[in-house]
A and B are shown apart, each in its own frame.
Chain A
Amino acid sequence: DQQVKQNSPSLSVQEGRISILNCDYTNSMFDYFLWYKKYPAEGPTFLISISSIKDKNEDGRFTVFLNKSAKHLSLHIVPSQPGDSAVYFCAASYYSGGGADGLTFGKGTHLIIQP
């Protein structure tokens, strides 16, 4: 059972426009959410995170929004640049008593920025 879902396998956006990547989760115990970016032949790279006590977190061109009641988060990239073309993974974790634990990942969304 997929606890973190990214329902769009791919997304194409024009350079300079806004990219919005979506993620839904089912486990209400999740309280920390992250976005990772992955280029081919490389490992995932951390982008931005948000704790469940917040509903928004910004870092430069990247903003993550969290809607706890809907169990939904989104990543906004403004403006989109060619180097943003990559696979984006949504990930989540919850406190199980042992400190930092493994992340539960979605299957990823392939973002393609068109020139």
Chain B
Amino acid sequence: DSGVTQTPKHLITATGQRVTLRCSPRSGDLSVYWYQQSLDQGLQFLIQYYNGEERAKGNILERFSAQQFPDLHSELNLSSLELGDSALYFCASSDGTGRMDTQYFGPGTRLTVL
């Protein structure tokens, strides 16, 4: 158990809908990262937050957004969903003290768009 929790575990929705994925980092960690794992693309970095502020952006679509709240939990919002958004979404956290601190991953949320 990494100490990172993600809810829900599974989510099934329809095209055009909007969903919110939630992540609670390990106790004491200030950085949260979101990754998408799809069958053809592998694990792709989406976005990083550090202590409530956006720090780095990866391959995140404009239809996707994220935020980190004062209690350090984070939410990833996916809107106008398309079939191709079906994937595993992972959250990771790190203490954020240095560039080489270890990222600890949650168990993921499996999103299925029908």
Residues of A bordering B, CB below 8 Å:
32, 34, 36, 41-46, 49, 51, 89, 91, 93, 95-96, 98-108
Contacts and interface: CB of A to CB of B under 8 A. Distances in A.
Measured as residues with beta carbon below 8 angstroms from the partner, the interface class of chain B is 20 to 34
A115 B101 CA distance: 36
B4 interface: yes
A99 B50 contact: yes
Contacts of B42: 105-108
Given A99-B50, A100-B94, A101-B48, A45 B2 contact: yes
* Chain B interface main SS type: strand
A105 B108 contact: no
A36 B90 CA distance: 14
Nearest to A36: B105
Nearest to B1: A42
Residue from B43, B44, B101 having most chain A Cβ neighbours under 10 A = B43
A13 B106 CA distance: 29
A43 B58 contact: no
Contact of B43 (A41, A89, A95): A89
A102 B58 contact: yes
B103 interface: yes
Given A89-B43, A96-B56, A98-B55, A103 B4 contact: no
